[in-house]
Amino acid sequence: MITMAEIARLTHVSQPTVSRVLNGNTKVAPEIRERVLACAREHDYQLNALAKGLQGSRTHLLGVLVTDIANGFFADLAKQIEIAARQRGYSIILFNSDYNPQNEQEYLDVVRRYRVDGVLAVPIRETSTEWHDYVKKLDVPVVTITRHAAGLDSFYVDHAAAGAQVAQHLLDRGYRRFLFIGKDYDGKYVGFHRYLAEKGFADATTNRVLQDHDQLRRELEAWYRGGTARAAVFAGNDIYALQVLDIVRKLGLSVPEQVGVIGFDDTSMGRYLNPRLSTVSQPTADMARQAVGWLLDLIEHPGEHTPEEHAFPAQLILREST
């Protein structure tokens, strides 16, 4: 791989001059400029980003930390981030925490090792003080995306509010008993439960973690038989919702008459399911673009700033399943 020094030797100038030509900020004699450019083109010169990064300025690397890239929602997010970053000349180093806090920690070390310019992170828990503190000690800007993190710049949809919207919708549709499938610390569940409690349905709300399809089936059946009021299931994501639909079908129950089902994430498949799946859509592309823009501004115009939290609205996509 050819270097500036090499080009300098070939064109009988000094290395700094080559640097000046290639960066184009300083004035340099036209003849020399041409000679150097020609030589660079001829040998297909590529800047050594490591040397440039070491030298002190930016590395033009962004760390992207997600919980699970195999999840369609995050995959989509990553894609949008990658596009936005590329447009502004940054490359991304991708990390998967796999919902394991230990990995999450280790990745921050990788971030430091490579002197990444900034980080876009989907933290595992919204309220992990350890992680939070660790991030604060980092001297690179970190923007939280998809999750709300107090005291950090964050771009997110208010899951609690979305959960409440779902609750309201289900009540409107006449459902009176509710089941949430997902982690109980999930903001969606918190908002969902709170809203229903305010309306006097605290006892009618249950929360189940999805371990395994067969177990869910047993629990779902028991739950359904356990009451007479009209029942609805709120699934933490569309994949869960799909499984619920399958189980409900097997139980011989009709959707949306006997059981209502609503998902989350607005995965593309929802539109083609039978019945078409009601779900909640997040402005992924918008969030990603704005988060990247914000982060890059932070990077390129450093200085004191107070973290801001940017909430985006969730949108109910109402289809046949409710």
Q: Residue numbers of the site for DNA (CB under 7 A)?
A: 1, 3-5, 12-17, 19-20, 22-23, 25-29, 32, 47-48, 51-52, 54-57
Of the candidates 277, 215, 220, 219, which has an alpha carbon nearest to the alpha carbon of residue 253?
A: 220
| Closer CB to DNA, 14 or 127, in the complex | 14
| Closer CB to a second copy, 115 or 183, in the complex | 115
Q: How far is the CB of 303 from DNA (least distance, A)?
A: 18
Quote the DSSP letter at residue 199.
Answer: T
48 scored as a contact of a second copy (CB under 8 A)? yes
In this chain, which stretch among 44-52, 122-130, 172-180, 187-195 interacts with a second copy, using CB under 8 A?
A: 44-52
5 scored as a contact of a second copy (CB under 8 A)? no
Binding to a second copy, residues 229-268 (CB under 8 A): 239, 242-243, 245-246, 249, 268
| Closer CB to DNA, 49 or 150, in the complex | 49
Contacts with 17 (C-beta within 8 Å, 6 or more apart), sequence order: 8, 28, 32, 36
Q: Is the peptide bond before 275 cis (omega within 30 degrees of 0)?
A: yes
Q: How far is the CB of 281 from a second copy (least distance, A)?
A: 15
| H/E segment holding residue 191 | helix 187-198
58 scored as a contact of a second copy (CB under 8 A)? no
What sign does the CA torsion over 154, 157, 158, 163 have?
A: negative
d(CA 149, CA 152): 6
d(CA 114, CA 165): 42
Q: How far is the CB of 160 from DNA (least distance, A)?
A: 43
Strand order from edge to edge, sheet including 205-208: 205-208, 177-181, 231-235, 259-262
71 scored as a contact of a second copy (CB under 8 A)? yes
Query: Of DNA, a second copy, none, which one does residue 273 interact with (CB within 5 to 8 Å by kind)?
Result: a second copy
Q: How far is the CB of 21 from a second copy (least distance, A)?
A: 18
Quick check: 106 and 85 in contact, CB under 8 A? no
Q: What is the 3-state secondary structure of 117-147?
A: CEEEECCCCCCCHHHHHHHHHCCCCEEEECC
Query: Of a second copy, DNA, none, which one does residue 17 interact with (CB within 5 to 8 Å by kind)?
Result: DNA
Structure tokens at 285: 């592309």
Give the residues lining the site for a second copy (CB under 8 A): 1, 46-51, 53-54, 59, 61, 64, 68-72, 75-76, 78-79, 82-83, 91-96, 98, 109-110, 112-115, 139, 239, 242-243, 245-246, 249, 268-269, 272-274
